[in-house]
């Protein structure tokens, strides 16, 4: 009896699931490569979900940028020997999906059309590169295969199965895909050295960030919490604690001030953004400036550094050449010894 009740409950749950799909409810297909049931096609579209995951390649502070997901769906093809294909062939639709910054997973809803002819319908789906800096978009074409079969009554039809293949019509069946977001960091530091180096002096720098051509930086570039700088401004406005706001193209220029021992670290810079740093007072006022490369391109999970050292030394004038001082000390000791010897002999004579 218990076994019978369990079977009956399972059948009821299955019927509820199929009915919901037939009414146009959105459902996530656990295994999109398998049959999802045979819902009758009604006036409302049947939809299913493909999941998109953002994989971060960067340090722990990396935050996925905002994005708008767009897809192109081909006109499609039809197969059923001896059956006249519908004209035009009905095609699914995929609405644009807005993804907020920091989102790791997005759901792509695919809406199927009303089918009136049984057969196998095939479509190609390609993701549009929306030119968000740091994002590597899916390059593979997805192949959507929808099998339509006859329903229980004449003139009715069912979805016999839905499958999504990656790369080719016979490729691996998937229910999700991954886009990669790559980000790196940039550290700028200042060191003053030498016996005349002024460790209280404020040094001025110009920092330039440039987005890849045609791309938008939709990720917030943050300032690492252990940064200790004198000031960091864009124009006349100090960059807020939240960092450099997202949604910009082209070039951004900043004025940075550092003292000896200070540094600033910019985090979550999208891969492909280029940087340039220059010091206003380099090699002036008797200082010698040394620095590694002042320009570069940010790479995923790479910590770029621009370390400036300004050194200033002078020769200290003591009146005595330090080169002859050891010899003069030897001579002085020798004279002192001779004087002591003379004094001793005179005492012995008396």
Give the CATH number of the domain where residue 34 resides: 2.60.40.3050
Number of helices (H) and strands (E) in the chain: give both, helices first: 2, 24
Check: CB of residue 125 under 8 Å from CB of residue 72. yes
Do 170 and 31 share a structural domain?
yes
How many structural domains does the chain have? 2
Do 221 and 117 share a structural domain?
no
Helix (H, G, I), strand (E, B) or coil at 16: helix
Check: CB of residue 67 under 8 Å from CB of residue 215. no
Domain region containing 232: 182-311
- Predicted confidence band at 336 (pLDDT cuts at 50, 70, 90)? confident
- Predicted confidence band at 349 (pLDDT cuts at 50, 70, 90)? low
Do 176 and 186 share a structural domain?
no
Which residues are within 8 A (CB) of 16 and not within 5 positions of it... i.e. 6 or more apart?
A: none
Q: Where are the alpha helices (DSSP H) in the chain?
A: 2-22, 325-349
Specify the pairing of strand 237-238 against strand 288-291: unpaired
Both tokens of 206, joined, read: 């110009």
Helix (H, G, I), strand (E, B) or coil at 192: strand
pLDDT digits (tens, 9 = 90+) for 138-193: 889 999 999 998 888 887 888 888 889 999 988 988 888 899 999 999 999 999 99
Do 205 and 145 share a structural domain?
no
- Predicted confidence band at 343 (pLDDT cuts at 50, 70, 90)? low
The whole-number average pLDDT for the span 72-88 is: 95
**Single residue among 180, 215, 249 that ends a domain in this structure:** 180
* pTM to 2 decimal places: 0.75
**Phi, psi of 82, deg, nearest 5:** 85, 0
Do 258 and 272 share a structural domain?
yes
pLDDT digits (tens, 9 = 90+) for 103-129: 999 999 999 988 889 999 999 999 999
Check: CB of residue 264 under 8 Å from CB of residue 270. no
Angle of CA points 97, 211, 307, to nearest 5°? 130
| Residue 174: half-sphere exposure toward Cβ, Cα within 13 Å | 18
Surface-to-core class of residue 166, CB atoms within 10 Å of its CB (0-12 exposed, 13-18 middle, 19+ buried): middle
Q: Which of 209, 210, 220, 223 is nearest to 247 (CA)?
A: 220
Do 187 and 306 share a structural domain?
yes
| Residue 101: half-sphere exposure toward Cβ, Cα within 13 Å | 17
Check: CB of residue 184 under 8 Å from CB of residue 56. no
The pairs formed by 88-91 with CB atoms below 8 angstroms and a separation of 24 or more are 89/121, 90/114, 90/115, 90/121, 91/123
pLDDT digits (tens, 9 = 90+) for 287-321: 999 999 999 999 999 999 999 999 999 998 876 55
């Amino acid at each position: 009896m218990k076994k019978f009740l369990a079977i009956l409950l399972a059948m009821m749950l299955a019927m509820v699931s199929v009915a919901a799909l037939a009414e146009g409810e959105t459902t996530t297909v656990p295994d999109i490569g398998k049959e999802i049931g045979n819902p009758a096609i009604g006036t409302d579209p049947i939809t299913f979900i493909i999941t998109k995951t953002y994989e971060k390649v960067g340090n722990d502070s990396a935050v996925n940028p905002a994005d708008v997901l767009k897809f192109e769906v081909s006109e499609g093809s039809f197969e059923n020997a001896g059956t006249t294909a519908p004209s035009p062939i009905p095609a699914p639709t995929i609405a644009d999906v807005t993804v907020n910054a920091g989102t790791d997973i997005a759901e792509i809803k695919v809406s199927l059309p009303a089918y009136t002819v049984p057969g196998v319908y095939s479509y190609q789906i390609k993701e549009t590169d929306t030119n968000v800096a740091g994002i590597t978009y899916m390059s593979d074409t997805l192949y959507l295969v929808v099998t339509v079969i006859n329903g229980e009554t004449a003139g009715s039809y069912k979805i016999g199965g839905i499958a999504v293949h990656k790369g080719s019509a016979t490729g691996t069946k998937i229910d999700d895909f991954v886009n990669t977001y790559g980000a790196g960091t940039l550290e700028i530091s200042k060191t003053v050295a030498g016996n005349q180096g002024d460790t209280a002096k404020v040094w001025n720098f110009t920092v330039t960030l440039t987005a890849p051509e045609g791309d938008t930086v939709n990720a917030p570039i943050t300032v690492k919490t252990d940064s200790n700088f004198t000031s960091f401004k864009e124009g006349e406005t100090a960059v807020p604690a939240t960092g450099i706001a997202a949604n910009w193209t082209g070039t951004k220029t900043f004025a940075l001030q550092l003292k000896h021992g200070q540094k600033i670290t910019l985090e979550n810079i999208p891969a492909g953004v280029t940087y340039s740093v220059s010091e206003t007072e380099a090699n002036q006022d008797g200082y010698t400036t040394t620095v590694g490369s002042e320009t570069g391109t940010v790479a995923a999970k790479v910590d770029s550094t621009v370390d400036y050292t300004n050194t200033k030394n002078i020769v200290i004038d003591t009146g005595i050449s330090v080169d002859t001082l050891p010899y003069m000390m030897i001579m002085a000791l020798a004279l002192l010894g001779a004087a002591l010897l003379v004094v001793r002999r005179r005492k012995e004579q008396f």
